[in-house]
Every structure is written in structure tokens, then in C-alpha cells.
């Protein structure tokens, strides 16, 4: 497949304007290029909605506009392996397994993913202004 899988913490930081201008531009371009989310990210994004109805509608629209990758047997098997090897929480293991099975780069600022061998990640917080 190729492309990028966007983690929940990136969505949260993106909509809260916590990224540098360069990081926000990078994320915007990746969202437009390959809009993939794990079903776990979809659940987490929708459960983290604030009382602000404008923001709630924006998050719902954002999620609807992306391709949601569900859980299949390959992801389940990889998830079990990752939980045993890296000792990570099940939701993170599902997100990582989804990225690995679909050959996607996970855009995340969560350092827990660093301990997963073979997972390709990119941390937008590491983008420095030019």
C-alpha cells in the first residue's frame, strides 16, 4: 500500500495548533496524500471530542474524509506478536500492526512506538523551522 498512518496524538496536536508551522504543513500534505487512520485512531479521535461543537464537527468531518483501516486476521496476529515482544498496550499494538501490515509509516509523537522493531515511524515534533 505505502503512505502514512496518522496516530491519534498527531490529530489532537494538529487540531490544537501545537505543531510548528513546518510540522503542520508536513502533516497537512501527508493527510492530503494518503489519508489512512486505524480504526483505533477513529475511536480515540471521536471519544476525545470536547464540548466545543465546532471542533466536534470538524473532528467528525476529518475522520469521515479518511480511509479507515479495520482489523483483519493479519493485524490480529501481528498485534499479538507486538504485545508479547514490545509490552505495549493493545490499542497501540493494533495501530502499529495496522501500519506494519499495510506497509505504512506511522506519524506519531508517542515514543512507546520506538521499541517496536520494524515499525517505520515519523515524529512531526522533530521538524525544525528552516
pLDDT digits (tens, 9 = 90+) for 2-59: 789 999 888 888 877 788 888 888 888 877 776 799 999 999 888 876 677 777 787 7
Which tens digits make up the pLDDT trace of 112-124? 999 999 999 998 8
Q: Indicate the domain borders of the chain.
A: 4-126
Quote the CATH superfamily of domain 4-126.
5'-nuclease (3.40.50.1010)
Q: Which own/partner contact pairs does 55-64 have at CB distance under 8 Å and 24+ positions apart?
A: 55/15, 58/15, 59/11, 59/15, 62/11, 62/15, 63/37
How far is residue 64's CA from residue 67's CA, in Å, rounded to a whole number?
8
Cell numbers that stand for 59 in this block? 473532528
Amino acid at each position: 500500500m505505502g503512505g502514512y498512518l496518522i496516530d491519534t496524538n498527531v490529530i489532537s496536536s494538529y487540531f490544537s495548533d501545537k505543531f510548528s508551522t513546518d510540522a503542520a504543513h508536513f502533516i497537512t500534505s501527508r493527510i492530503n496524500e494518503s489519508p489512512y487512520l486505524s480504526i483505533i485512531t477513529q475511536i480515540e479521535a471521536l471519544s476525545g471530542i470536547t464540548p466545543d461543537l465546532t471542533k466536534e464537527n470538524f473532528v467528525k468531518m476529518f475522520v469521515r474524509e479518511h480511509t479507515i483501516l479495520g482489523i483483519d486476521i493479519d493485524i490480529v496476529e501481528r498485534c499479538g506478536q507486538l504485545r508479547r515482544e514490545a509490552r505495549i498496550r493493545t490499542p497501540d499494538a493494533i495501530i502499529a500492526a495496522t501500519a506494519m501490515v499495510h506497509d505504512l509509516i506511522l506519524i506519531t509523537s508517542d515514543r512507546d512506538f520506538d521499541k517496536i522493531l520494524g515499525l517505520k515511524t515519523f515524529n512531526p515534533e522533530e521538524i525544525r523551522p528552516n
